[in-house]
Amino acid sequence: MFALARGRYAARFAKDEADLRAAQALRWRSFIGRCDDAAAAGRRDADAFDGICQHVLVEEVATGRLVCCYRILPLRDGGDIGRSYSAQYYELSALRGYGGRMVEMGRFCLDPEAHDPDILRVAWGAMTRYVDEKGVELLFGCSSFSGTAWQRYADAFALLADRHLAPPRWLPRIKAPRVVRYVRALAGRAGDPQKAMREMPPLLRSYLLMGGWVSDHAVIDPDLNTLHVFTGLEIRAIPPARARALRLVAG
C-alpha cells in the first residue's frame, strides 16, 4: 500500500510522531475547537488508541496542507471486536461471531475550512485500496454528528430508523450511560429525506450510499461534543456501480 495521489490530493500513512501530532491537531480543530480557531493553536485530540492504530493523512499536494485524516485498526475477525474503540460505547457481542477480517475506521475528520468533495473521494479511494489488499470483509466505526442536541438532526435520525438499521444479527446493544434511543423517540415519523441527507455527516452519508447500516441508538459524547452512531459496512454489500467508482479512484 498505501500512498495514493489523485488530482490535487494525496493520501499516505503517517510515518512519524510529527505526522501523528498533525493529525491530532486537525482532530481537535474538527471535533472540539470548531467555535474558536484561536484556541486551537497547540491543542491536540489524543487517546490510548492512537498507539495501536495506523493513521492516514490526506494532504494537498501543492502545499502539503493536511485536509483530512482518519485512523484504522485491523482486526482478525469478530473475536477481536473488544479491542476496538467502538466497544467502549456499544455492546458488540453480536459481532463476535463475524468470521471475516474487519477494520475499524475512526476519528475521521475534514479540515473545517476544506470543502472540496475530491478530498473525500481520495480518502475513500485509499481506504478501498487497503480493503482490497487486505481482504477486509467488514468496515465499521462511529459516525459523529456535531453537538449533542439530537433534535436538530431529527430528520436524519428518522431516515436512519426507517431505512438503515443494522440487520438484527449484527445489531449493537446499549452500553454507554448516555444515549438517545432515536428509533423509539421518532416512531412513526418519516422525516424529509432531502433534509436528512443534508444533516448527515459526510462520513455517514458515504457509508449509507455504499449500503452501510447503523445502531438503533446514538451515544452522547460530552468530551468531543458529538452524537455518534455505530456504523457498519459489509464490503460484499456495496452496490456494483459504487464499488467500480471507488476502485477507479483507488487505482
pLDDT for position 41? 60
- Set of cell numbers at residue 134: 487486505
What's the pTM value of the predicted model, to 2 decimals? 0.93
- Set of cell numbers at residue 194: 432531502
Q: Is 228 helix (H, G, I), strand (E, B) or coil?
A: strand
pLDDT for position 251? 82
19-78 pLDDT, tens digit each: 999 999 999 998 887 545 545 567 899 999 999 999 999 999 999 999 999 999 999 999
What is the rounded distance in angstroms from the CA atom of residue 163 to the CA atom of residue 14? Answer: 36
Phi, psi of 218 (to 5 degrees): -110, 140
174-198 exposure pattern, b = at least 16 Cβ within 10 A, e = fewer: ebeeebbebbeebeeeebeeeebee
User: Mean of the per-residue pLDDT values for the chain?
Assistant: 93
State yes or no: pLDDT of 185 exceeds 90: yes
Q: Are 25 and 43 in contact (CB under 8 A)?
A: yes
User: What confidence tier does 92 reach under pLDDT thresholds 50, 70, 90?
Assistant: very high
Q: Are 154 and 161 in contact (CB under 8 A)?
A: no
